[in-house]
Amino acid sequence: MSKVSINNEEIDIVIGAVQADLTSFLEDWRPFISKFHLIIVQDPDLKGEPKIPDGFKVDVYTKSKIDQTVGASAAALFSGYSCRYFGYLMSRKKYVISIDDDCTPAKDTKGNLVDAIAQHINNLKTPATPFFFNTLYDPFCKGADFVRGYPFSMREGVPCGLSCGLWLNLADYDAPTQALKPGLKNTRYVDAVLTVPVKTFMPVSGINIAFNRELLGPVLFSSFKLEKEGKYRYETMEDIWTGMSVKLISDHLGIGVKTGLPYVSRKERGNAIESLKKEGQGVNLMEQVLPFFQSLSLSKEATTAEDCVKELAAAVKERLGQTDAGFAKTSETMLEWLKIWSANK
Amino acid sequence: MSKVSINNEEIDIVIGAVQADLTSFLEDWRPFISKFHLIIVQDPDLKGEPKIPDGFKVDVYTKSKIDQTVGASAAALFSGYSCRYFGYLMSRKKYVISIDDDCTPAKDTKGNLVDAIAQHINNLKTPATPFFFNTLYDPFCKGADFVRGYPFSMREGVPCGLSCGLWLNLADYDAPTQALKPGLKNTRYVDAVLTVPVKTFMPVSGINIAFNRELLGPVLFSSFKLEKEGKYRYETMEDIWTGMSVKLISDHLGIGVKTGLPYVSRKERGNAIESLKKEGQGVNLMEQVLPFFQSLSLSKEATTAEDCVKELAAAVKERLGQTDAGFAKTSETMLEWLKIWSANK
């Protein structure tokens, strides 16, 4: 099966800027992103005006605009990596692609630079197949198809809501793994996209993702933050939590989630050993979070993404709220986000 | 994480021979298989002595030995591709690797021949991770690990029972797909192994597989045959059914199933258009088979692979037996196989 057409007007590229000078980041990506509309949201904790080279179609949001839109108290929700969620809120497009500002375009096995934007759009615009695993991976990739034994009634697939890309060079390991194996880099280019099966959870990373805003917009928000959540990916759990929520809700609504291509290349940033103490809390909490999501069923009454977030928030409060104050806060934040979303959509 | 050691004495390579002259097949594989014990089982419908070059440690089984071991009436169970299951029965080793005789060693992206045996053993000897999806694929492959967010309590994994390899050149498409797209070849080398998540089914192909006989021996048998099942892969459903059974039972027993590497290269054989009429029955039956497996739960009392096959056979009879005479026969065959297994193990 073959590549889809890309309508530039359907796409926003959202960059959460945790560094002020985006010159080299944007220059690296220029060949792939200059024809699209960019939304750049600067981490509100960051001082200084963002530095952006000429030649991009870009809207830039800084602390003052965030404060003005959601109020100064809610603005705290958008600090650190979470600033990009403000970009998701500001987008009016069907598809949002978001790449962290420590990433550069990766090279494939032939040494060609990867067009991550085109690959994400291809993933989102072709169906997903969550109900039966195709051993030859995404049957909608060029040159692929369904293998023998795949029921014909299931070959139409379902809409894809989320496309999770991967990372070469610095893989997205946690602080303990990276601290134990400082030399461990990801050099394996796996030339595949696959649908994550229904009822299967995985740790979604926010480093390199794309989603269908019309289907999942209200779900993509950072409602779970560690007390000591920092400015390095090692130190965050927000995207992991968001990913679990997205997967739960996608499964419930019959929407697919894909993972695999495209790769980006990540540069070293932060100190894994320093980050160890910050991440301890997250490591422990994941042990509770996964069984919670794996055992949760949403009701038939939840037919929209908003309904699902509401139900999930209630379940978080009821079933996790007693165990850790962070979860009670998470439940509140989910509901607050829904209000912000409704007021701004 | 790194490669495991291979003990040649733990491994049998089983070849179901549906052609009499195995010279070129075995010469192609010699560099990788000559140090292992081979079990070659000739399709009992095939005339003529098998032709096998010198220099292999091999036991050959033909119709007379099959008749003598299981009786002339049961011998019919081992016709066509199913002859290799007789080899599984004769094996006394922990690991069995089985590759169809129309396959040659594949080349990886660097042009090196793939050692499919070493890769299968690596897949089987390292743990599987069916309860949470690792986005960087098998964390026990060299150079890989668990990604951020993967619960530490789950990193030990579970034993791997089945390793499903893939195919370059002629992909394992069904007859309709291959007939519609005669030029469609698989050229995409996906450098990954992954655990198929718990409760996820996929169409297992018997072309290139390996399994832990101690864990799953009683399950690996062809109990589902189409009325017009032929001599080409297009025309078979036996391995698809067996794979569904293996996955159901593995999930129940806490055993993992991996798919991906190693690749083999498949040569053209058979005529897809001619095969269309034979496969129609299988295509229809899969529509019933998948929901059956997806909705079936085995009981807590089923604690061994034998127990599980017994329960599955009963469920097949009760829930599918009325819809198609083939399913009633399948249930009987499963129980017959258990008897043969007990008598010969």
- pTM value? 0.95
Contact: A135, B164; criterion CB under 8 Å:
yes
Contact: A201, B174; criterion CB under 8 Å:
no
Provide the pLDDT confidence category of residue A247 given band limits of 50, 70 and 90: very high
Average pLDDT, chain B: 92
Q: Using alpha carbons, select from B96, B78, B100 the residue that is nearest to residue B12.
A: B96
Interface test with B, best of A141, A148, A261, A281 (most B CBs within 10 A): A148
Convert the pLDDT of each residue in B309-345 to its tens digit. 999 999 999 999 988 888 999 999 999 999 999 999 7
Please tell me which residue of chain B has the smallest CA distance to A285. Answer: B151
Q: Is the peptide bond before B159 cis (omega within 30 degrees of 0)?
A: no
Residues 32-91 of A with CB under 8 A from B: none
Which residues from B are below 8 Å from A186, CB to CB? 136, 143-144
Which residues from A are below 8 Å from B136, CB to CB? 166, 171-172, 186, 188
Contact: A234, B197; criterion CB under 8 Å:
no
Which residue among A133, A141, A189 sits closest to B202, beta carbon to beta carbon?
A: A133
Calculate mean pLDDT across residues A204-215. 96
Distance from the Cα of A178 to chain B's closest Cα (Å) equals 10
Q: Is the peptide bond before B262 cis (omega within 30 degrees of 0)?
A: yes
Calculate mean pLDDT across residues A263-292. 79
Contact: A135, B237; criterion CB under 8 Å:
no
Is the pLDDT at A164 greater than 90? The verdict is: yes
Residues 262-301 of B with CB under 8 A from A: 283, 286-287, 290
Provide the pLDDT confidence category of residue A181 given band limits of 50, 70 and 90: confident
Residue A6: the pLDDT is: 87
Residue B15: the pLDDT is: 98
Q: What percent of chain A stands above pLDDT 70?
A: 94
Encoded amino acid at A107, one letter: K
Question: B63 or A273: whose pLDDT is higher?
Answer: B63
Please tell me which residue of chain A has the smallest CA distance to B289. Answer: A151
Interatomic CA distance for residues B90 and B37, integer angstroms: 12
Taking the CA atoms of residue B244, residue B245, residue B250 and residue B252 in that order, the dihedral angle to the nearest 10 degrees is 110
Which residue among B148, B188, B200 sits closest to A172, beta carbon to beta carbon?
A: B148
Which residues from A are below 8 Å from B166, CB to CB? 135-136
R_g (Cα) of chain A, nearest Å = 19
Residue B228: the pLDDT is: 65
Contact: B152, A283; criterion CB under 8 Å:
yes
**By the CB < 8 Å criterion, does B152 face chain A?**
yes
Is the pLDDT at A218 greater than 90? The verdict is: yes
Residue B279: the pLDDT is: 60
Is the pLDDT at B1 greater than 50? The verdict is: no
Question: A75 or B290: whose pLDDT is higher?
Answer: B290
**By the CB < 8 Å criterion, does A159 face chain B?**
no
Question: Do A222 and A234 contact (CB within 8 A), yes or no?
Answer: no
Please tell me which residue of chain B has the smallest CA distance to A146. Answer: B173
- Within 13 Å, how many C-alpha atoms sit on residue A150's CB side? 25
Interatomic CA distance for residues B245 and B185, integer angstroms: 29
Which residues from A are below 8 Å from B197, CB to CB? 197, 199-200
Residue B151: the pLDDT is: 93
Which residue among A202, A205, A283 sits closest to B133, beta carbon to beta carbon?
A: A202
**By the CB < 8 Å criterion, does B164 face chain A?**
yes
Residue A1: the pLDDT is: 46
Calculate mean pLDDT across residues B60-86. 92
Question: Do A172 and A110 contact (CB within 8 A), yes or no?
Answer: no
Residue A19: the pLDDT is: 92
For residue A81, CA distances in Å to A64, A91, A313, B98 come to: 17, 17, 22, 49
Convert the pLDDT of each residue in A80-114 to its tens digit. 889 999 999 999 999 999 999 999 999 999 999 99
DSSP letters for B220-268: -------TT--SSGGG--HHHHHHHHHHHHHHHHT-EEEEEEEEEEE--
**By the CB < 8 Å criterion, does A173 face chain B?**
yes
Contact: A240, B148; criterion CB under 8 Å:
yes
β-pairing, A37-42 with A57-61? parallel
Contact: A174, B149; criterion CB under 8 Å:
yes
Question: Do B184 and B171 contact (CB within 8 A), yes or no?
Answer: yes
Is the pLDDT at B197 greater than 80? The verdict is: yes
Average pLDDT, chain A: 92
Letter string b/e over residues A233-250, b meaning 16 or more CB atoms within 10 A of that residue's CB: bbbbbbbbbbbbbbbbbb
Contact: A240, B149; criterion CB under 8 Å:
yes
Distance from the Cα of A230 to chain B's closest Cα (Å) equals 15
Which residues from A are below 8 Å from B196, CB to CB? 133
Taking the CA atoms of residue A279, residue A285, residue A290 and residue A291 in that order, the dihedral angle to the nearest 10 degrees is 160
Residue B269: the pLDDT is: 67
Convert the pLDDT of each residue in B15-57 to its tens digit. 999 999 999 999 999 999 999 999 999 999 998 889 999 999 9
Which residues from B are below 8 Å from A200, CB to CB? 132-133, 197-200
Interatomic CA distance for residues B246 and A264, integer angstroms: 37
- Helix, strand or coil for residue A236? coil
Residues 177-196 of A with CB under 8 A from B: 177, 181, 184, 186-192, 196
Convert the pLDDT of each residue in A114-126 to its tens digit. 999 999 999 999 9
Residue B177: the pLDDT is: 87
Q: Is the ipTM of this complex over 0.90?
A: yes
Convert the pLDDT of each residue in B247-292 to its tens digit. 999 999 999 999 999 999 998 766 777 667 666 677 778 889 999 9
Identify the DSSP state of A343.
H
Contact: B190, A187; criterion CB under 8 Å:
no
